[in-house]
Amino acid sequence: MKTKAFKYLKPVLLVLLMVNLAACEVAIDGFYDDDHIGGGYYNKSRELCSRTWVRYYYNIDGYYCRQEIDFYLDRRGIDYIRVQYPNGRISEYEYRFVWNWENPAQSSLCMVYAPDDVSHLDEVRIWGNQLTGYLDGWNNYVIYNGR
């Protein structure tokens, strides 16, 4: 009787073990954002989130603009744009987004404003008090200064 019980116990335990292993989830997406990878790994997230990044530019219509971007360690951010028109009128816009590093070198940022509104900052460099990169294409090199 004991042998019959043990004979069926082994396959049952094997099936339970397989079901438990199949239920485990391995999170690969969070690798680039892990602040505790250790060793000689350099994490740009803290530096990116340490200040407000500001740039001044003229938009496609020729209006003077000021953009401020804040990145937060919880992977959220705020993009504030102030447009100054020739007649003195000023418009202000505030956009919220979530962000993530796109590669292990942390040289490419993805900012998702809405499902169909995604922005990329490639070749990200943070040196001193400047954040630089190509915003949404290789023909739009931007320089943000920290404030």
Tens digit of pLDDT at every position of the chain (147 positions): 556 655 666 666 566 556 555 554 444 444 445 554 444 445 789 999 999 999 999 999 999 999 999 999 999 999 999 999 999 999 999 999 999 999 988 999 999 999 999 999 999 999 989 999 999 999 999 999 999
Domain-located, residue 121: yes
DSSP H stretches of helix in the chain: 2-23, 45-48
Domain-located, residue 101: yes
Shared-domain flag, residues 60 and 17: no
Domain-located, residue 99: yes
Q: d(Cα 57, Cα 15) in Å, to the nearest integer?
A: 63
Query: Which pLDDT value is given to residue 30?
Result: 46
Shared-domain flag, residues 121 and 80: yes
* Number of domains the chain contains: 2
Query: Which pLDDT value is given to residue 1?
Result: 53
Enter the pTM of the model: 0.71
Put residue 75 in one of left, alpha, beta given phi > 0 → left and psi -120 to 50 → alpha: left
| Strands 141-146 and 53-58, sheet pairing | antiparallel
Q: d(Cα 81, Cα 68) in Å, to the nearest integer?
A: 6
CATH number at residue 108: 2.40.128.640
Query: Which pLDDT value is given to residue 43?
Result: 76
| Beta strands in the chain, from DSSP E residues, in sequence order | 53-58, 64-71, 76-84, 90-101, 108-114, 117-127, 130-135, 141-146
Which range marks the domain in which residue 21 is found?
A: 2-33
Shared-domain flag, residues 50 and 102: yes
Shared-domain flag, residues 23 and 82: no
Shared-domain flag, residues 142 and 75: yes
